[in-house]
Structure 1
Amino acid sequence: MRVRFALPGDRIATIEEFEGREGIYQHGDGMLRASRIGKVTYDMKQRYVRVNGLKSMLIPKKDDHVIGFIHMLTSNSTNIRIVYINDLKSDARFDAIYIGKGKVKVHNMFRVGDMVRAKVVSILNGYIHVTFKDGNFGVIYTRCNQCGGEVVKLNAEEVKCVECNAVSSRKLADDYGNLNAIWRCN
């Protein structure tokens, strides 16, 4: 079996040489051509050829659920590096933005390094905008921002460090601390 890469419209073979399968169309000149981007596979024994499409890039869209890490924080906004889109790992390195409304102080909700779950509300001017309004959304994993130790949930808005006893505010997801939410994505 021979393999090569093709773009749509590339000549792959003639109809006399091979039978066209998935990702192939027959052109009027007797040529078999690629109908998609992908790897061309020639089966020399059964005399067929096909183009296996490349795995499409996972792109977040409105109403998708994303999991990511807070990597930048201001008083009223935060940037999130997206790692999972609808529980599927994304290697595309998208960033999302959350902008607090009114008197909301984002630095009271999150800290750099927090792992969060959010919902995509829009994509405007190249920016992915997210919300944390539902109880299902918010911080799903964090560490103490003073000593880096493990923390436990005190209530819906506070965590306490088990090592230094520091208490800090967070917008916690309902299932905070349940790491199965993270590991099932892998």
Structure 2
Amino acid sequence: MASVADAVVPGQRLGHVQEFNVGAGTYALQDFIYASVVGLKRIMKQGGDNELPFMTVQRENSQSAIPEIEAIVTCKVVRVNPRFASVNIMVVDGKPCTDDFQGIIRVQDVRATEKDKVKIYNSFRPGDIVRAQVISLGDARSYYLSTAANELGVIFGTSVAGGSLVPISWQEMQCTKTRVIELRKCAKPL
């Protein structure tokens, strides 16, 4: 089991080249061995008695969260057009994504009722943080997402004036600076 003392950052001095061989994740500079990546310091012994052990730094193998059907995701709106909103998925079921995943919220997936009256620009704006559900793995570029449930929709937004938006109904948010009301598809607070 690794301890906190084994965790190293790039540029941290790990030892002397007379005591260790340079291994993966390390480099030698002026007779000292330094870490080149963030990870855990390891000393690997060689088979022979006269050989120096290798100093290595191993990266932690953290698996990125991957969106699956029916997963709840938190994403950021990057683009809006009349047919859909493009988003970057940041969190899947409470676990942060280390990889980049794109999603699309189509106009028919914004609300459960009155789908024909939905206008994407009145539901989302670039920069909004949205809670959504994965409804399909979509095409090769994007996951298809839905905000049709009451607890799904915009959870954080910034107004045109630059103030934070506070939900006042299921389709309206109010600027904390100017008190101007802007239209959004709001998520019901949990």
Q: Distance in 1 between matches of 2:166 and 2:81?
A: 25
Residue number among 82, 89, 113 corresponding to 1:82 in the alignment: 89
Residues 57 and 166 of structure 1: is their aligned pair in 2 closer, same or farther, counting only changes over 3 Å?
A: same
Residue number among 59, 66, 71 corresponding to 2:73 in the alignment: 66
Q: Percent identity?
A: 22
Residues 130-162 of structure 1, C-alpha deviation per residue, up to 9 Å, x if partnerless? Answer: 000111110011121x20112322211111123
- In the alignment of these two chains, the number of paired residues is 136
Residue number among 84, 95, 100 corresponding to 2:102 in the alignment: 95
Unaligned runs of 5+ in 1: 6-38, 46-51, 177-186
Q: Distance in 2 between matches of 1:53 and 1:109?
A: 40
Residue number among 119, 128, 151 corresponding to 2:133 in the alignment: 119
| Kept in 1: contact 2:127–2:157 (CA 8 A) | yes
2:124: which partner in 1? 110
Tell me, yes or no, if structure 1 residue 155 matches structure 2 residue 175. no
Paired residue type of 1:68: C
Unaligned runs of 5+ in 2: 1-19, 26-39, 47-58, 109-115
TM-score by length of 2: 0.62
Q: Distance in 1 between matches of 2:61 and 2:168?
A: 47
| Kept in 2: contact 1:115–1:139 (CA 8 A) | yes
1:139: which partner in 2? 154
